[in-house]
Amino acid sequence: MISYSTAWSMRVSTSTSYSIVGALNKLPIAVSGMIFFSKERKTVNTGTAFGILTAFIGGIVYSIAQIKLRRKVLSYNK
Protein backbone atom coordinates (compact mmCIF):
# COMPACT_ATOMS: atom_id res chain seq x y z
CA MET A 1 0.00 0.00 0.00
CA ILE A 2 2.86 2.39 0.72
CA SER A 3 4.39 1.83 -2.71
CA TYR A 4 1.01 2.27 -4.39
CA SER A 5 0.29 5.51 -2.51
CA THR A 6 3.76 6.83 -3.35
CA ALA A 7 3.31 6.07 -7.04
CA TRP A 8 -0.17 7.64 -7.04
CA SER A 9 1.00 10.83 -5.32
CA MET A 10 3.91 11.16 -7.75
CA ARG A 11 1.49 10.81 -10.66
CA VAL A 12 -0.95 13.47 -9.48
CA SER A 13 1.59 16.03 -8.29
CA THR A 14 4.76 17.57 -9.62
CA SER A 15 8.16 16.30 -8.60
CA THR A 16 8.86 19.55 -6.78
CA SER A 17 5.68 19.22 -4.71
CA TYR A 18 6.53 15.64 -3.86
CA SER A 19 10.03 16.68 -2.79
CA ILE A 20 8.76 19.58 -0.66
CA VAL A 21 6.29 17.31 1.14
CA GLY A 22 9.07 14.80 1.75
CA ALA A 23 11.22 17.50 3.30
CA LEU A 24 8.46 19.11 5.34
CA ASN A 25 7.34 15.88 6.96
CA LYS A 26 10.61 15.94 8.89
CA LEU A 27 9.77 19.22 10.64
CA PRO A 28 7.60 17.69 13.40
CA ILE A 29 10.34 15.13 14.09
CA ALA A 30 12.95 17.90 14.36
CA VAL A 31 10.79 19.95 16.73
CA SER A 32 9.99 16.99 18.96
CA GLY A 33 13.68 16.05 19.01
CA MET A 34 14.55 19.55 20.18
CA ILE A 35 11.94 19.36 22.92
CA PHE A 36 12.41 15.83 24.21
CA PHE A 37 16.08 15.13 23.58
CA SER A 38 17.67 18.45 24.43
CA LYS A 39 20.66 18.16 26.76
CA GLU A 40 19.73 21.33 28.54
CA ARG A 41 15.99 21.78 28.65
CA LYS A 42 16.22 25.47 29.48
CA THR A 43 18.04 26.54 26.30
CA VAL A 44 17.18 25.96 22.66
CA ASN A 45 19.76 26.24 19.91
CA THR A 46 18.67 29.36 18.04
CA GLY A 47 20.29 28.26 14.77
CA THR A 48 18.34 25.03 14.73
CA ALA A 49 15.09 26.76 15.69
CA PHE A 50 15.65 29.38 12.96
CA GLY A 51 16.30 26.67 10.37
CA ILE A 52 13.11 24.82 11.28
CA LEU A 53 11.10 28.05 11.21
CA THR A 54 12.57 28.99 7.82
CA ALA A 55 11.68 25.57 6.38
CA PHE A 56 8.14 25.84 7.74
CA ILE A 57 7.61 29.31 6.30
CA GLY A 58 9.08 28.18 2.97
CA GLY A 59 6.62 25.30 2.86
CA ILE A 60 3.72 27.64 3.53
CA VAL A 61 4.86 30.06 0.81
CA TYR A 62 5.23 27.20 -1.68
CA SER A 63 1.76 25.87 -0.81
CA ILE A 64 0.17 29.27 -1.27
CA ALA A 65 1.93 29.72 -4.62
CA GLN A 66 0.68 26.32 -5.82
CA ILE A 67 -2.90 27.15 -4.79
CA LYS A 68 -2.77 30.49 -6.64
CA LEU A 69 -1.29 28.80 -9.72
CA ARG A 70 -4.06 26.18 -9.79
CA ARG A 71 -6.74 28.85 -9.43
CA LYS A 72 -5.20 30.81 -12.31
CA VAL A 73 -5.07 27.71 -14.53
CA LEU A 74 -8.66 26.79 -13.66
CA SER A 75 -9.90 30.32 -14.42
CA TYR A 76 -8.22 30.20 -17.87
CA ASN A 77 -9.85 26.87 -18.67
CA LYS A 78 -13.39 28.13 -18.08
Give a yes or no: residue 6 inside a domain.
Answer: no
- Structural domain count, the chain: 1
With a CB cutoff of 8 Å and minimum separation 6, the contacts of 9 are 18, 21
Quick one: average pLDDT of 4-19? 79
pLDDT at position 71 is 83
Percent of the chain surpassing pLDDT 70: 88
Would you state the pLDDT for residue 5? 80
- CA dist list (Å): 21 to 59, 63, 65, 77: 8, 10, 14, 27
Average pLDDT on 35-62 reads 77
Is 2 part of a structural domain of the chain? no
Is the pLDDT confidence value at 43 over 80?
no
Residue 78's pLDDT band (cuts 50, 70, 90): low
Residue 37 lies in a domain: yes
* 62 belongs to a structural domain: yes
